[in-house]
Amino acid sequence: MFPVLQIGSIALPAAPLALLLGVWTGVWLAEREAVQLGLNGDAVASLVLIGLVAGLIGARVGYVAQHLGSYLTDPLGVLSLNPATLALLPGLLLGGSAMQIAGQRKLLPLWRTLDALAPGLAMLGVAVGVAHLASGDAFGAPAQLPWSIMLWEEACHPSQIYEIVGALLVLMIWRWSPSRQQLDGVSFLLVVALSAAARVFLEAFRGDSWIIAGGLRGAQLVGLAVLALCLAALPRLTQRTLPPPSVAGAAEPTCVARQETAP
Amino acid sequence: MVRLLNDTRRWRLLSLAVLLLGTGWVWASRVPPSVADAGQFPNTHVGFPAPDFALETLDGATTSLAGQRGNVLIVNLWASWCGPCRAEMPTIQRLYDARREEGLTVLAVHGTFQDSEAGARAFAEELGLTFPIVLDRDGAVSRRYQLHALPSTFIVDRKGIIREVILGGPLSEATLQSKVDPLLEEAP
């Protein structure tokens, strides 16, 4: 764990720094991928910025709304920003909505834009793993293994390193996936499905899991549900791009390549 | 992959196999109750019992964290030369005055090993602090609480479990109140 990076007399909090670097690298990757997909790279990058700002506002407003009584007695407290005073769900909702509206206004096609964002998402997964490693969060379950790390005087799974390796694998599979530029939406769903599968697998080695009834781990169930949704949605992408069934006795349906469907 | 997506039957079979495998793994890796209980060793992360300590106060008495069990506790690590600590102490004092009757306690752990006892005393008198200020003379508590930033605030519930860790400051009254009030409402 290295929660603070001491550079001379400057102490930098390592986890937020890792997340910041992850977002920056993710935006850079998304911008590059956008150009590859024939989109405006700057438009996609600004979309991320809009999402981040709106997400931050949503998370803050959501938290204040949840604790309105406290903030009515200390209104200036609204301006006192701390990561502990952000609400995740409102942030995701407002950030996502703002990105969708901005995307429509910029005439960015939804699935292709999501494809452009896919590598950024995978890179963010790597950054989250590094941030966990820095802060000591998402720590591993006790285990006596040659590669165990000592945590609070006990040998544990290096769960944060597993997380980083898992996210890097997702990034690599995305990079070398032959179908990544063939069909709109495949890249995005592939990254989400692989990330969900990684969560299902790696959560088993965590020592701080959210446990629900029967000792089941909540994050694994959420991951499994997301994986199922992605697996169900992927074949629909091909149906979405099928040619109209006007030709009698048409052969087996086949998907239409991205280059052919692009306007 | 696109070819696979076009073959509905093969895709469905593959999806089913993946989901069955995932479900099996989720079931196999569930946490047995004995392991879940054994995992509750004290450490400074949210959801774990706060590490206990007993330190001398500015008045010469000894106060322990375990002795506060049953109350909601704010453990604040500070030093007199730390600007944000100085800025947030009056806020903590106000909240302590307002919520003391409801079961709020504060343990202000002074980093005496990197400050001076006289500095702590002058600080407490200047700001009119009435909650216990304990002196971490050898830095053992600061090390146990993995102190990396001043101030550091740990909010502990009535059962002694850490419910919030806030590194840095100064904390606003609303922030502290929003973290403490829900815990005060929980049954002792």
My answer on whether B21 and B103 are in the same domain is: no
My answer on whether B109 and B176 are in the same domain is: yes
Of A80-89, A132-141, B1-10, B133-142, the range with the highest mean pLDDT is B133-142
Q: Is residue B119 part of a domain?
A: yes
What is the C-alpha to C-alpha distance for residues B37 and B49, in angstroms, rounded to an integer?
Answer: 12
Does residue B43 have a pLDDT over 80?
no
Q: Is residue B113 part of a domain?
A: yes
Instruction: Tell me the pLDDT band of A240, cut-offs 50, 70 and 90.
Output: low
Assembly ipTM: 0.80
Q: Which residue in chain B is spatially nearest to A234 when comparing CA positions?
A: B5
Q: Is residue B174 part of a domain?
A: yes
The mean per-residue pLDDT over the stretch B127-151 comes to 90
What is the C-alpha to C-alpha distance for residues A78 and A64, in angstroms, rounded to an integer?
Answer: 7
My answer on whether B6 and B71 are in the same domain is: no
Which domain range does residue B12 map to?
2-30
Q: Is residue B48 part of a domain?
A: no
Spell out which residues of chain B touch residue A186, defining contact as CB-CB under 8 Å.
1-2, 5
Alpha helices, DSSP H, located in A106-217:
110-135, 159-176, 186-202
Q: Is residue B41 part of a domain?
A: no
My answer on whether B156 and B117 are in the same domain is: yes
My answer on whether B19 and B85 are in the same domain is: no
Q: Is residue B44 part of a domain?
A: no
Retrieve residue B162's tokens: 């850490």
Interchain proximity B41–A4, CB inside 8 Å: no
Minimal C-alpha gap between A74 and chain B (Å): 6
Q: Count up the domains in chain B and report the number.
A: 2
Q: Is residue B38 part of a domain?
A: no
My answer on whether B73 and B124 are in the same domain is: yes
Q: Write the CATH number for B143.
A: 3.40.30.10
Interchain proximity A197–B26, CB inside 8 Å: no
My answer on whether B13 and B78 are in the same domain is: no
pLDDT (0 to 100) of residue A261: 41
pLDDT tens for A26-82 read 999 999 999 999 999 999 999 999 999 999 999 999 999 999 988 998 888 888 877
Of the partner residues B22, B36, B167, the one whose CB lies closest to the CB of residue A200: B22
Question: In the A/B pair of chains, how many CB contacts fall below 8 A?
Answer: 144
Nearest one of A125, A165, A132, A166 to A16, comparing CA atoms: A132
Interchain proximity A231–B18, CB inside 8 Å: yes
Retrieve residue B107's tokens: 């343990």
My answer on whether B9 and B100 are in the same domain is: no
CB distance B141 to B53 below 8 Å: yes
My answer on whether B21 and B113 are in the same domain is: no
Tell me the DSSP string of A55-112. Answer: HHHHHHHHHHHHTHHHHHH-GGGGG---GGG--HHHHHHHHHHHHHHHHHHTT--HHH
Q: Is residue B177 part of a domain?
A: yes
B14-to-A106, A231, B127 alpha-carbon distances in Å: 38, 9, 67
My answer on whether B87 and B180 are in the same domain is: yes
